[in-house]
A and B are shown apart, each in its own frame.
Chain A
């Protein structure tokens, strides 16, 4: 029995004639923090989105906690409740308050009582450091606060895995840190995380492994210190030299 919480096997994803992901294999253990880096268009977000079935693979298989996502018999909503996702554009529900954003899925999917959902939501808001924003609407929040609410929304489901799709790319520079701090805390608490990001500082500090992708393929997988200091492949070196220059 494979103990990996996420298994990606021979994953291919084509959009029409564009081959976004080619033959990706990845195993992620419980408690690991895996950071996926690479140039834009390298397929990193697509791999991430296949892990909660927002994208359906053209070929290959994804298993989450032993459950085969592409199997017709799988109830994908059950799996998704266990896999939190944080988006680049936050995607908060603009017609709902912060608290409602965090409670709605708990009520509908986890079938929790109203008081239980609210208590949990307040706890998650405390965790991401903005308990005072419970009754605010998303438009009244800064980008960094919105993203922290989005993290709280995902955490409120008590997921086993958290996926982050470029969580700081849409943020003003001064707000990046507050979001990364929350993510670092999560990593320290032992959450299994898969993070697509350009924040190399986060990768160095939190990643157990870094995956470098280019042109839809996984080029190199290594511990952050190894990958950043002694990349094996030319393409990795080139990529790192470009982003670490300044």
Chain B
């Protein structure tokens, strides 16, 4: 039988390791979120801000006024919808451009590189203005459509085009991370370049870039706040409107911070968890 002292001596290093590994940062962030939640429930001004920012009162009527959107709020719906749809479009653009970046065709490669470098060389905020006010409407005119795109759509297109360039670099890096032997083996049994890409290279590449894609999804959720400069009524724009008319800056921007932090925290926890699972069965 071990004495208490002896067991303590054995246990202590393990306790120390657990203490070091414990996610204290998570506790700190959750504490902030709980505090904010408490304020929003108990303090009337905070709950009024919350209702307005997520868009449950005085909200724009771009989305149906009843049902789900109205329940979770028009503002937050716009934020989530814009992020999701723009990201899906950006994935398509990114994949095509990423493939273009490694194409052996000089023209295709240069078109893809021009696009990527153009986007990377201009600040995101400036790009949102340029795309939404210049490039998107003029492209619509150019293809002969007599149609004024709503700002929400322009904002979405702008985000997709900007993130398409970032994702293209991720896709390119992912494809280049697969050893050349894989392409050679696939080609050596008679597969075409396209078949080898689709069935051999991309499935492996996408697995490798899942963490990077997840990070960019979170980054996009945050950058979706920039569409507020186009007067798209996402949660940031709602907050600006509220703060501007009530001068309740502290309450408004703390609630806005709370909203983004909640969403990004949930996403980043999902991301960590799925990464761990991916690594387990590797």
Contacts and interface: CB of A to CB of B under 8 A. Distances in A.
Interface of A: 52, 54, 77-78, 80-81, 83-85, 87, 89, 91-95, 104-105, 108-110, 139, 150, 153-154, 157
Contacts of A85: 184-185, 188-189
Most chain A Cβ neighbours within 10 Å, of B179, B191, B204 = B191
B222 interface: no
Interface stretch (B41-49, B74-82, B192-200): B192-200
A80 B182 contact: no
A224 B200 CA distance: 39
Contacts of A93: 182, 185-186, 200, 204
A80 B188 contact: yes
A91 B189 contact: no
Contact of B190 (A78, A87, A91, A92): A78
Interface in B142-158: none
B181 interface: yes
Nearest to A102: B189
Contacts of B109: none
A193 to B, nearest CB: 15
A80 B204 contact: no
B207 A54 contact: no
A54 B191 contact: no
Given A104-B200, A150-B185, 5 more contacts: A85-B185, A87-B181, A105-B186, A109-B195, A157-B189
Interface residues of B, number: 19
Contacts of B282: 139
Contact of B199 (A78, A91, A108, A110): A108
Contacts of B203: 95
Contacts of B188: 52, 54, 80, 83-85, 87, 154
B191 A91 contact: no
Nearest to B200: A93
Nearest to B189: A105
Contacts of B186: 93, 105
Contacts of B184: 54, 85, 87, 91
Contacts of A83: 188
B133 to A, nearest CB: 45
A235 B159 CA distance: 65
A149 to B, nearest CB: 11
Contacts of A77: 187, 190-192
A81 B192 CA distance: 11
Given A80-B189, A94-B204, A157-B190, A108 B181 contact: no
Interface in B170-221: 179, 181-182, 184-192, 195, 199-200, 203-204, 207
Contacts of A91: 179, 181-182, 184-185
Contacts of B185: 85, 87, 91-93, 150
B190 A80 contact: yes
Contacts of B190: 77-78, 80-81, 105, 109-110, 157
B182 A153 contact: no
Nearest to A49: B184
A47 to B, nearest CB: 15
A94 B179 CA distance: 11
B257 to A, nearest CB: 41
Given A94-B204, A95-B207, A109 B182 contact: no
Interface string B240-282: 0000000000000000000000000000000000000000001
A139 B191 CA distance: 23
A195 to B, nearest CB: 15
A162 B133 CA distance: 61
A139 B181 CA distance: 16
B107 to A, nearest CB: 19
Given A94-B204, A108-B199, A153 B181 contact: no
B183 to A, nearest CB: 9
The 9 A-B residue pairs whose C-beta atoms are closest, nearest first, are A81-B190, A91-B185, A105-B189, A85-B188, A109-B190, A91-B181, A80-B190, A77-B190, A95-B203
